[in-house]
Copies of this chain bind each other. A is one copy, B any other.
Amino acid sequence: MTRALYSLCGADPQNFFSPHCWKAVMALAHKGLSFEEIPTTYARIRQIGGGFSPTVPVLEDNGRLVSDSFAIALYLEEAYPDRPSLFRGEGGKALSRMVEGYSQMVVHTAIMRIALLDIHAVLDEGDKAYFRESREQRLGKTLEEIAADREAEKAAFPAKLEPIRHMLKFQPFIGGESPLFADYIVFGAVQWLRVVAGLSMLAADDPVMTWFERCLDLHEGRGRTMTAA
């Protein structure tokens, strides 16, 4: 049995920083499945399975390829039903899309504006040009223009996590008493920020930090294999 996860890396092949790849890593660890994490630059994504997907993560499980972190979680839930559940039922599966919506549309957009130049800095030379061109086209500004608002974005960041603080008044994880894929969705975003730019904008006693530290402890401290920026 071979199982591999193609995961985005920087110039340092052990610098795994992508939020979406971290979601897949934590989903595999949650299911207790061993896998090799294969460092993949943007330029090499197109070589996976002869151009199977324009993005990573891509999971290769016994010859089957699955791309997209949410699709990987759904695949793992179906393929390994006897392992710990990532969703705990159909309601959890459906509502995870709403958590993804919050994470991507609120948390990711803020992190992008905070850490764009930091992300650019960790990429290898070939990827730097691709990243600059694609992001500047998507956002309609140069990376430096976006980074000019960085301090204001950092100051505004803690307030954007209020939905998480509300939830934490009732339970230790988004999944309830124990984590589910929904936790890994938000964990991936915060881990991304931690790895590329650090979490200095969050107070140590912020309940979100307490939850995040709990997530870093999961699965033999898998999240701690990357150090903070």
What residues of B have a CB within 8 angstroms of the CB of A180 in the complex?
A: 91, 94-95
Question: Is B166 a contact partner of A105 (Cβ separation < 8 A)?
Answer: yes
Q: Tell me the bound Cα distance from A102 to B167 in angstroms.
A: 9
Contact partners of A93 in chain B: CB under 8 A: 91, 176
Interface footprint category on A: 20 to 34
Question: Quick check: is A96 within 8 A (CB to CB) of the other chain?
Answer: yes
Can you identify 6 A-B contacts, CB atoms within 8 angstroms? A88-B91, A94-B175, A94-B180, A101-B167, A106-B162, A106-B163
Which of B97, B102, B105, B174 meets A94, CB within 8 Å?
B174
Q: Does A89 contact B (CB under 8 A)?
A: yes
| CB pair A101 B171 closer than 8 Å | no
A101 close to B175 (CB less than 8 A): no
**A90 → chain B, closest Cβ, in Å?**
5
Which residues of chain B are within 8 angstroms of A171 by Cβ–Cβ distance? 94, 97
A85 CB to closest chain B CB (Å) equals: 7
Check if A97 sits within 8 Å of B162, measured CB to CB. no
Residue of B nearest to A92 (CB): B91
Q: How many Å lie between the Cα of A105 and that of B95 in the bound state? A: 18
User: Restricting to A160-216, which residues have a CB under 8 Å from any CB of B?
Assistant: 162-167, 170-171, 173-176, 180, 182
What is the distance, in angstroms, from A13's C-beta to the closest C-beta of chain B?
A: 32
Q: Is A136 close to B, CB under 8 A?
A: no
* Contact of A167 with B88 in the complex, beta carbons under 8 Å: no
A98-B164, A164-B98 known; A175 vs B91 contact (CB < 8 Å): yes
> Nearest chain B CB to A160's CB is how many angstroms away?
9
Q: Smallest CB–CB gap between A12 and chain B, Å?
A: 32
Q: Name the B residues within 8 Å of A95 (CB-CB).
A: 91-92, 95-96, 98-99, 174-175, 180, 182
A16 within 8 A of B: no
- Per the bound structure, the CA–CA distance linking A99 and B182 in Å amounts to 11
- The answer, yes or no, to whether A104 is at the interface (CB within 8 Å) is yes
Known interface pairs A90-B92, A91-B91. Does A98 touch B176 (Cβ–Cβ under 8 Å)?
Answer: no
